[in-house]
Amino acid sequence: MAARSEARSRADAGQAAIACPVGARADSASNDTECTVSTPNPAFRADVLAGLSARPRAIPARWFYDRRGSELFEAITHLPEYYLTRVERSILSAHAADVARLTGPGCVVVEFGSGSSAKTPLLLSAVDPSAYVPIDISGEFLRESAAALAKQFPELPIHPVEGDFMHRLELPPEIGDARRLGFFPGSTIGNMTAAAAVDLLRAMADTLGEGSKLLIGIDRIKPANVLIPAYDDAQGVTAEFNLNLLHRINRELDGNLPVGAFRHVAQWNDTEARIEMHLETTHDVAFTVDGHPFAISKGKTIHTENSHKYGPRDARLLLRAGAWTPVAEWTDRDGLFALILAEARPVPAAP
Ligand code: TRP
């Protein structure tokens, strides 16, 4: 209940900020004024126009995370059905000391994502790092969570990096050559196809360097009656999160999608071992985005997200394919979720 009212009140705040002229943006790019008139984000525009023209229709999930989307996602992590956050946090609190023992003190924690969750403090208190480097594409979220962490860890040097961690990034020079511990919680790796996940893991190995470690959360395959509610909650927060993408298109790309004619669908694709989120039309619709006309007939979907699930061996194979050697793995009593520590080691030429 608390999660819902939190999501609602934040969503309302978002609504106020979007009462802007056409072409205005209400996302992180306009942080200095409430409402900055600017041209639409060209990458967002290109992805949406291409995605609505493709068959099957699909829009990359990264566009979920405007300010309101990020807030709705935060609310999802507090939902009773969304076991991932809760379980991962409990594994981390049970085993943070083991992580610290295996990494040693004084390393630099590099988090892929803005670290707004309760997991980051758990890790930071246990490993006692020499610095913390959060990397996120959303500058505003990054600054907010860095400020919150600075209050909790006043002695810890924090060097936020605004950027896309899908590619190799330069780490701040201030951190020197201290050993690196990458942190990638939340099973975000599962939101990529296996090929993209391997590319990302290799980019992380390049960013962090040989001898670095990576602590990664990966959600496990489990029965659909547990998986589906995690992506289709009773309070409708996940539905609101998914539908926010359409609101965002309307806000930022001068669209007129009839959002009420779409419904949130979450389904298990067993062949691909993934939960899929779609937006399905409840009747025939026609609309324009940035002047381009589109029509979608009743019952067709826009595919918006995948969340791949991995068995224990699958997860370790994925890491090895991405140039990381698993060194330790922890799970909860029910084996719902895995936290894996891996190391970037040179691969021997021969067996
Ligand atoms: N990686 C998480 C997961 O797949 C977070 C996430 C991404 C998510 N997109 C989502 C959760 C959409 C709910 C709905 O669960």
For residue 67 the two structure tokens come to 């300010």
**Alpha-carbon distance 53 to 45, whole Å?**
12
Question: Which CATH number characterizes residue 106's domain?
Answer: 3.40.50.150
Domain total of the chain:
1
The pLDDT of residue 39 is 78
Q: How do residues 316-329 score in pLDDT, each as one tens digit?
A: 999 999 999 999 99
- Mapping DSSP onto H, E and C, the string for the chain reads CHHHHHHHHHHHHHHHHCCCCCCEECCHHHCCCCCEECCCCHHHHHHHHHHHHCCCEECCHHHHCCHHHHHHHHHHCCCCCCHHHHHHHHHHHHHHHHHHHHHCCCCEEEEEECCCCCHHHHHHHHHCCCEEEEEECCHHHHHHHHHHHHHHCCCCCECCEECCCCCCCCCCHHHCCCCEEEEECCCHHHHCCHHHHHHHHHHHHHHHCCCCEEEEEEECCCCHHHHHHHCCCCCCHHHHHHHHHHHHHHHHCCECCCHHHEEEEEEEECCCCEEEEEEEECCCEEEEECCEEEEECCCCEEEEEEEECCCHHHHHHHHHHCCCEEEEEEECCCCCEEEEEEECCCCCCCC
Compute how many other C-beta atoms are within 10 angstroms of the C-beta atom of residue 112. Answer: 26
Ligand 1 neighbours (beta carbon < 6 A): 61, 76, 84, 186-188, 190-191, 231, 238, 241, 277, 305, 307
Output the CA torsion 92→121→193→162 (10° steps).
-170
Yes or no: say if 180 and 108 are a contact pair by the CB < 8 Å rule. yes
From 81, 188, 233, the mutation candidate for ligand 1 (largest count of ligand atoms within 8 A of CB) is 188
Domain membership flag for residue 13: no
Ligand 1 geometric centre to CA of 293 (Å): 30
Is the residue at 172 inside a domain? yes
Measured between alpha carbons, how far is 113 from 136 in angstroms, rounded to an integer? 5
- The residues, any chain, with a CB within 8 Å of residue 326's CB and separated by 6 or more, are 316, 319, 320, 340, 341, 342
Among 95-109, 114-128, 138-152, top mean pLDDT goes to 95-109
Which pLDDT belongs to residue 23?
37
List Cα–Cα distances, 29 to 52, 137, 314, in angstroms: 24, 11, 38
Rounded-to-integer distance, Cα 67 and Cα 148, Å: 17
Q: Is residue 178 part of a domain?
A: yes
Q: Atom of ligand 1 at shortest distance to CA of 64?
A: 9
Assigned domain for 95 exists: yes
Cα(178) to ligand 1 centroid in Å equals: 32
Contact present, 110 and 180 (Cβ < 8 Å): yes
Best of 231, 307, 310 to mutate for ligand 1, by most ligand atoms within 8 A of CB? 307
* Domain assignment present for 245: no
**Residue 187 C-alpha to ligand 1 middle, in angstroms?**
8
Give residue 334's pLDDT band: very low, low, confident or very high (50, 70, 90): very high
Question: Ligand 1 centroid to 276 CA: how many Å?
Answer: 10
Nearest atom (ligand 1) to Cα of 189: 1
Average pLDDT, the chain: 89
285-304 pLDDT per residue, tens: 999 999 999 999 999 999 99
- Would 38 be classed as within a structural domain? no
Distance CA 46, CA 25 (A): 16
Residue 16 has pLDDT above 90, yes or no: no
CA of 189 to the centre of ligand 1 (A): 10
Mean pLDDT to the nearest integer, 322-349: 94
Q: How far is the CA of 244 from the centre of ligand 1 (A)?
A: 14
Structural domain that includes position 150: 86-222+312-344
The rounded distance, in Å, linking the Cα atoms of 178 and 104 is 11
d(CA 105, CA 108) in angstroms, rounded, equals 9
Distance in Å, CA 345 to ligand 1 centroid? 30
Residue in the structure block whose two tokens are 């803005």 = 114
The more confident residue out of 257 and 38 is 257
Query: What is the structure's pLDDT at 349?
Result: 79
CA distance 191 to 205: 19
Please state, in angstroms and rounded to a whole number, the distance separating the CA atoms of residues 297 and 313.
41
Tell me the percentage of the chain whose pLDDT exceeds 70. Answer: 89
Determine the atom of ligand 1 nearest the C-alpha atom of 238.
14
Q: Is residue 130 part of a domain?
A: yes
Give Cα separations from 93 to 77, 90, 327 (angstroms): 17, 5, 19
Amino acid at 118: A
For the segment 39-66, what is each residue's pLDDT rounded down to a tens digit? 789 999 999 999 999 999 999 998 998 8
Where does the pLDDT of residue 38 fall: very low under 50, low under 70, confident under 90, or very high at 90 and above? low
> Can you say how many angstroms the Cα of residue 57 is from the centroid of all Cα atoms in its chain?
21
CB 59 within 8 A of CB 45: no
Residue 136 resides in a domain: yes
Distance 128 CA to ligand 1 centre (A): 29
Question: What confidence score (pLDDT) does residue 213 get?
Answer: 98
Going by alpha carbons, the residue nearest to atom 1 of ligand 1 is 188
